[in-house]
Amino acid sequence: MFDLRPGDIVCTTYSIDRDPNGPNWLQWILSMGIRWVQCFNDVDGKARLTHSFVITTDAGDTFEALWRYREQNIYDAYAGQEVLIGRHKGMTREKFYAAHLSIAKKYYGLRYPAWKLPLFFLMPRLLKWLPGKPVCSEKTFRYPYHAGLVDHWRGVTPSYVADAIRRWRDFEVVYQGIMPGKPVVSSEL
C-alpha cells in the first residue's frame, strides 16, 4: 500500500469500463476530447491522463476543479480508476496548508471555467497570459507554485502535470496503477 500526504498530486482519466456506477457518456466524451487536445500539443504526444487534483488530508480528501471547485475523497470517487500519484520533494505540510488556505478561499464553490477548455486547442501558448479561474491542472500546479517550488502554473494540462511527476527530479511517483478502495482499519478486540 502507499501513504497519502497533503500536497500529493493526482492525475487520472475516466474509464467507462471501470465506472462502478455504469457508463457516463458525457464524462467519457469530455475525457476523450481533453486527451486528443493534449496529444496534439504535448511534447511526447502520449497524453493519457485527463484530470488532476491535490490531496488535502492523510485520509485521501481532495480539492478538485470539477463542475465546481469542491472536495471529495479519492477512495470514494476514484476506486477502480487509473491514477498516477506524485509528490514534490520540497512540499511540506506547512507550505501545503499555506497554499491551500489561499487557493481554497479564492475558488471553493465557484463554477468550473469550462469556456477555457477549447482554448487549450486553439491557442495553448497564450493561456499563460489569460486571466481567470484555473482549470483542474492549473489549480493543481498552483499549489507547488504558491509554495515556491515551481515557477509557473498557467497553461499546464493534466498531461504536463503527469510528465512533471514522472520526469522532473524534484517529483517522485508515490503510486501508479488502479486506485484501490478505502483502506480497512482493523481494531483489536
CATH number (domain holding residue 142) = 3.90.1720.10
pLDDT at res. 132: 84
Return mean pLDDT, the chain.
84
Give counts: helices (H), strands (E), the chain. 6, 6
Residue-range definition of the domain harbouring residue 159: 9-178
Condensed to tens digits (0 to 9), the pLDDT of residues 116-148 reads: 777 766 666 666 677 789 989 999 999 999 999
pLDDT at res. 97: 97
Tell me the mean pLDDT in the region 39-60.
79
Which string of DSSP letters, residue by residue, matches 111-128? BP-GGGHHHHHH-GGGGG
* d(C-alpha 19, C-alpha 41), whole Å: 28
Q: Is residue 151 part of a domain?
A: yes
Condensed to tens digits (0 to 9), the pLDDT of residues 8-31 reads: 999 998 665 665 665 565 666 666
Q: Is residue 1 part of a domain?
A: no
Q: Is residue 79 part of a domain?
A: yes
pLDDT at res. 117: 72
Tell me the mean pLDDT in the region 164-188.
86
Tell me the mean pLDDT in the region 41-51.
69
* d(C-alpha 31, C-alpha 24), whole Å: 11
The values of phi and psi at residue 6, to 5°, are: -55, 130
Indicate the number of domains in the chain: 1
Tell me the mean pLDDT in the region 89-108.
97
